[in-house]
Amino acid sequence: MKSTAVSKLTVPADRKGPRWWGVPPQRAGILAFGAHPDDVEIHAGGTLAKYARMGRAVVVVDATEGELATNGSPVERRRECARASRLLGLAARANLGFPDGGLGQDEDLVPRIVDLLRQLRPRVVLASTTSTRHPDHAALGNAVREALFFMALPRYRTAHAAAPRPEAFYQYLEVSEVAPTLLVDVSATYSLKCRAIASYTSQFAGGHGRKRTFINSGFLELLQDRNRRFGLLAGVRHAEPFLADHPPLVDILAAKTPSSHSSKGKS
């Protein structure tokens, strides 16, 4: 049987550490991972802003600088990312500096995520879905799931000691047909989410000699329709969809479902 014991530090000491924006809190309420700066804004920005407004320490970790994007440069994107992070009310944000493309082949990705999870001991973890056409998004979702397992094993060595696993892990769903298992009401923070996304002018603004891409020609309208459609299902203005690895345990008298809305007043 293969042993999970690792005799030396799993992350080589010569690999650069994360580049931080803001000061990482001692403990994160929510820790959200994205493959590229702007991924979390697009798919979970309303949720992150909602909990940041409630005073929770919300931290984002981007794996790459998105240098393969058709438009914009990493320098532009860093500036845009800082503006978006301020709008969302993030406590801190890290960029791991992995090369864009080929995240799935980088053997340092899982141990680096394990170390961050141990450092920040989040209550809830969000990451990109593993059911997506973008290989880096799927690779990151898988790496986070793996890291959530290894973070609690004392013999899996990184700079920080083993720590208990978070209470929940949710994948944020992209524009796909995967059915969510939970919806978050983001009506109150939806305009903040839109402003945070709009901060990435190099990606979403179009014009100014930029090349036409999927995300700068109609994508934001599609996203808005999607958040509106899930909102409609939940009886609120806007909702963001997530997928839980395990069915969430709920109080059936407190949980609101589409059928409870449709039968309002008939109980």
Q: Would you call 163 helix, strand, or coil by DSSP?
A: coil
Choose the binding region for Zn ion from 10-18, 28-36, 110-118, 207-215 (rule: CB under 5 A): 28-36
Residue sitting closest to Zn ion (CB):
36
Choose the binding region for Zn ion from 11-19, 31-39, 100-108, 160-168 (rule: CB under 5 A): 31-39
Q: Which of 112, 103, 106, 172 is nearest to 147 (CA)?
A: 112
Compute the distance between CA of residue 161 and CA of residue 117 in angstroms, rounded to an integer.
Answer: 10
Query: 22 has which bridge partners?
Result: 92
Compute the distance between CA of residue 183 and CA of residue 238 in angstroms, rounded to an integer.
Answer: 10
CB nearer to Zn ion: give 128 or 158. Answer: 128
Choose the binding region for Zn ion from 11-19, 34-42, 152-160, 197-205 (rule: CB under 5 A): 34-42
CB nearer to Zn ion: give 9 or 68. Answer: 68
Q: Which of 231, 229, 219 is nearest to 194 (CA)?
A: 219
Q: What is the dihedral of CA 87, 38, 171, 115, to 10 degrees?
A: -90
| 39 forms part of the interface with Zn ion (CB under 5 A) | yes
Greatest CA separation for the chain: 65
Report the first-to-last Cα separation within the chain, whole angstroms. 56
114, 120 in Cβ contact below 8 A?
A: no
Among 31, 33, 36, 117, indicate the residue that binds Zn ion (CB under 5 A).
36
Compute the distance between CA of residue 218 and CA of residue 214 in angstroms, rounded to an integer.
Answer: 7
Least Å from the CB of residue 177 to Zn ion:
19
Least Å from the CB of residue 160 to Zn ion:
27
Least Å from the CB of residue 66 to Zn ion:
7
Compute the distance between CA of residue 58 and CA of residue 38 in angstroms, rounded to an integer.
Answer: 15
How many residues belong to the site for Zn ion (CB under 5 A)?
Answer: 3
Least Å from the CB of residue 55 to Zn ion:
29
Least Å from the CB of residue 57 to Zn ion:
24
Kindly tell me the number of DSSP H helices and DSSP E strands found in the chain.
Answer: 8, 8
| 41 forms part of the interface with Zn ion (CB under 5 A) | no
Binders of Zn ion in range 117-176 (CB under 5 A): none
CB nearer to Zn ion: give 36 or 77. Answer: 36
DSSP 155: T
Least Å from the CB of residue 84 to Zn ion:
14
Least Å from the CB of residue 68 to Zn ion:
10
CB nearer to Zn ion: give 95 or 158. Answer: 95
- Judged by the rule CB under 5 A, the positions of this chain that interact with Zn ion are 35-36, 39
